[in-house]
Chains A and B, each alone.
Chain A
């Protein structure tokens, strides 16, 4: 009963309150922050880096968060800061992928995609087909354009905040969103999607 009550209280806590508690060494509050944001972090990482090493990358993000909390100046901007770390981890991983991009990793990624497909075998085939198209459509974008599209269109982060996360001028974000949308739309239309 008390545990449930404590959970409800911490669920109502703002990010800055939880961060303040974390800075006092309270790991339970950090656990709540993890539970609050882990899905968004995983989702962003997945769209930016694919399925391989997803758990490791998520772990890396939250370890960097814990270590960097004392340096966080504006505790109200926790989510922006968290997305910035997520993007940094994804960016590092992209560079590592680029260095050791091999046939093996391609095979692994394909095998993991197949696993997802097999798991969802009962789903609608058209759904799977569109999911594959969206995955490929995002993959054909450059990392910079994909980052903007994922953060703004899939994670619903306003352009101003995306600019803060990526440390870019707002105008650059806007133009990248425009370019990325056009490129994905073009790709999907070429693949036969008529609804757009």
Chain B
């Protein structure tokens, strides 16, 4: 075991004769600060890209990613549904129904032209003409 005084002498000797440290480059301080700034800018850019990337991936997860083979059957199904729907909503025109409709129209017209109600209608119209003439003559009196 060494005595403390010899340890102190050794430490004193080492401190006294420790090699001189070479001087640093004059611009070392500025160089370090510039590197820090450059690294921070690069890191900010990296973080921004990472953020954008995560946003895009989140959006992708909202819209489920479907396999490609699904699309052609889906389009075909859609077309079939529209086509069948159109045919269900618009009734098909049967030839029998056309004949019935035609007969209905013909009967209607005949009734209108040859019915006795047609004479009544002409009488009514004469009465109307009369009423109109009376009212026409009385109007100036009221205005004066």
Q: Is the interface of A mostly helix, strand, loop or mixed?
A: helix
Q: List the B side residues contacting A63 at CB < 8 Å.
A: 32, 35-36, 39
Of residues 12 through 60 on chain B, the ones whose CB sits less than 8 Å from some CB of chain A are 13-22, 24-25, 28-29, 31-33, 35-37, 39
B15 and A154 contacting across the interface, CB-CB below 8 Å = yes
Question: Which A-chain residue is minimally distant from B21 (CB atoms)?
Answer: A46
Nearest-neighbour CB distance to chain B for A7, whole angstroms, equals 14
Contact present for B28 and A51 (CB under 8 Å): no
- B72 CB to closest chain A CB (Å) equals 54
* CB-defined contacts of A154 to chain B, threshold 8 Å: 14-15, 18
Given A181-B10, A196-B6, A58 and B24 contact (CB-CB distance below 8 Å)? yes
**Stretch of A12-20, A71-79, A131-139 at the chain-chain interface:** A131-139
Contact B32 A59 (CB under 8 A): yes
> With A62-B32, A154-B14 given, is the CB distance from A195 to B9 under 8 Å?
yes
Number of A interface residues in the complex (CB < 8 A): 43
Contacts of A132 in B (CB 8 A): 19
**Known contacts A27-B36, A31-B29; A116/B20 CB under 8 A:** yes
- Mark the stretch among A87-95, A97-105, A157-165, A182-190 that contacts chain B: A182-190
* In the assembled complex, A37 has its CB within 8 A of some CB on chain B: no
A55 lies within 8 A of B28 (CB): yes
> Which residues of B have CB within 8 Å of A196?
6, 9-10, 13
- Residues of chain B lying within 8 A (CB to CB) of residue A130: 13, 16-17
Which chain A positions have C-beta within 8 A of B13?
Answer: 130, 134, 188, 193, 195-196
Which chain B residues have a beta carbon within 8 Å of chain A's beta carbons?
Answer: 2, 6-7, 9-11, 13-22, 24-25, 28-29, 31-33, 35-37, 39
